[in-house]
């Protein structure tokens, strides 16, 4: 059974996950077409410089629930065989979830995560920048309320869907964290998905190359694998 992608984002009181707090948590499940978005009372003042970025004030979160309540609801929203996806996740959002869960004595499920910033840097080295808003412009996505959690989540889903095409999310996850050269051994998409690369019909590999599919940045590892097998 295929994994389900859940896109998520956090807005915070700062950038240090061991000291700062989450003040907004949002997620989008495109498979089940559900959204999640909650303000969180951080228990500390929101610095003015942070409010200038995301627009969230102390007054907006003063009556909000604690992370213990919101976090538990978020984990329930993410139930199932899922991959949690965020932009700059590995250096930011995931760390905030971990620290907030510890502070609230919540047991965070052992989610697999995917960082779309890492993916973009790896498979779009032709781009000078990889911020969410720059990618939004490159991929022609309509302008949103930048740095508000749910808006950024919806935009991220649109961008990443265009970036990976019909690549299954679990394969995208595998490729994002694959180190060094290509160790790909099975066809990741298409009518021969799951079949060993060295058993694919030669005319199919030739057709892939001729169609330009292997020239896409996201298929660079597949191209390297074919070259390694002398199929190209």
Residues annotated as catalytic are 147
> How deeply is 90 buried, as exposed, middle or buried, from its count of CB atoms within 10 A (0-12, 13-18, 19+)?
middle
For residues 102-121, one letter each, b for 16 or more C-beta atoms within 10 angstroms of the residue's C-beta and e for the rest, the string is eeeebebeeeebbbbbbbbe
Q: Across the beta sheet with 22-29, what order do the strands follow? A: 34-39, 22-29, 4-12, 82-86, 113-115
Q: Kindly report the backbone phi and psi dihedral angles of residue 94, in degrees, each rounded to the nearest multiple of 5, phi listed first.
A: -60, -40
Whole-angstrom distance, CA of residue 118 vs CA of residue 158 = 17
Whether the CB-CB separation of 167 and 218 falls below 8 Å is answered with: yes
Return the beta strands (E) in 51-141 as ranges: 82-86, 113-115
Angle CA 192–198–200, to nearest 5:
30
Whole-angstrom distance, CA of residue 60 vs CA of residue 41 = 9
Q: Kindly report the backbone phi and psi dihedral angles of residue 166, in degrees, each rounded to the nearest multiple of 5, phi listed first.
A: -95, 15
């Amino acid at each position: 059974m295929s994994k389900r992608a859940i896109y998520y984002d956090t807005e915070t009181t700062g950038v240090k996950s061991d000291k700062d707090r989450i003040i907004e948590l949002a997620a989008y499940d495109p498979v089940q077409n559900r959204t999640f978005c909650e303000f969180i009372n951080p228990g500390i003042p929101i610095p003015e410089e942070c409010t200038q970025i995301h627009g969230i004030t102390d007054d907006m979160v003063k009556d909000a629930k604690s992370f213990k309540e919101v976090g538990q609801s978020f984990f329930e929203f993410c139930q199932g065989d899922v991959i949690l996806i965020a932009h700059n996740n590995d250096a930011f959002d995931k760390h905030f979830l971990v620290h907030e869960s510890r502070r609230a004595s919540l047991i965070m499920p052992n989610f697999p995560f995917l960082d779309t910033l890492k993916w973009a840097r790896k498979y779009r080295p032709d781009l000078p920048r990889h911020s969410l808003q720059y990618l939004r412009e490159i991929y022609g996505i309509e302008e949103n309320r930048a740095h508000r959690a749910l808006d950024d989540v919806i935009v991220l889903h649109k961008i990443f869907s265009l970036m990976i095409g019909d690549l299954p999310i679990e394969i995208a996850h595998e490729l994002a964290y694959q180190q060094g050269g290509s160790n790909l051994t099975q066809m990741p998409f298409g009518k021969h998905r799951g079949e060993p690369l060295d058993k694919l019909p030669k005319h199919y590999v030739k057709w892939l190359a001729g169609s330009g599919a292997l020239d896409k940045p996201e298929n660079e590892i597949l191209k390297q694998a074919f070259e390694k097998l002398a199929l190209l």
